[in-house]
Amino acid sequence: MTNAKHIVVTGGAGYIGSVVAAQLIAAGHRVTLLDNLSRGHREAVPAGAELVAGDVADRALLDTLFAPRGVHAVVHLAALLEVGESMRVPERYFRNNSAGTLTLLEAMLAHGVRRIVFSSTAALFGDPERVPIDETHPLRPCNVYGESKLMTERMLEWFHRIHGLRYASLRYFNAAGAAGAQGEDHQPESHLIPLILQVALGQRAHVEIYGTDYPTPDGTCVRDYIHVSDLATAHLLALDALEEQGRLLYNLGNGQGFSVRQVIETARRITRHAIPAVESARRAGDPAVLVASSEKIRRELRWAPRRSALETIIADAWEWHRQHPRGYAGAKAPGASSGAD
């Protein structure tokens, strides 16, 4: 990016949002984070960012945020994201992820904010017909989380056609790793790599393998892991590209898959811990294989992952978790402000 802009990052106190914010600040932008802190952390906010504690569904707060500030664009990461939870309480996901985003879009239009980079998901694809999955693959979510994100993508498309909204939808595969002071700290935690590392830290007795009868080489689910720093870089490239283009759709992954058993074994080597594993039944809504083709964003935006090896991803995560064995708990926020003004 060449010119400094005012960027709002929703969910900016979360895992990916905090890394995106840090990269935006490093690029010279003014960054305001909007986060209701239900799952984000004040301590994750990078130095130089302003934190506004609030929700994307709060229209009055959004009006206060957008009206006087000359906001150029929004990077929208605020969402509930647990697949299992979405299959138990679907209403929470449609209200938060879909309806909440509609409120955000309405406020953006009202205040002339016409660019948004949207955090989408590989869960749009459901059980894939083919791998690696490219952007032309049919969209058939098999869980409510994916459906709530697909509803948002459809809204974005119509807002683009009717209102001229410029948008980029980035369909993440599995974000992992850590970036300096920013790491993965969900409460409760449901993601495989941090769960494995909690076992290595002695905080869990074992890691569970959900399903061992999938049609994969070792019977466990296969996923594509992307380093959180590489994922964040894609957001900045997409934001820049929206200066010239109106609609962008990209899949983001490494293009190679690793089974649950392979991830556990790699973590055992890196941490030098036994990491006991217990086999459990499948979880509802889990496809057998999700692996991305990211050729389109590599070709069009020259995105080039720099930390793509699984060993590097796990080693970075392990270093952060060793330095933050209780997550962000007890850490001091690096000069972040809070509240709307």
- Residues with active-site annotation: 145
Count of residues in the chain:
341
- What is the C-alpha separation between 305 and 319, in angstroms, rounded? 20
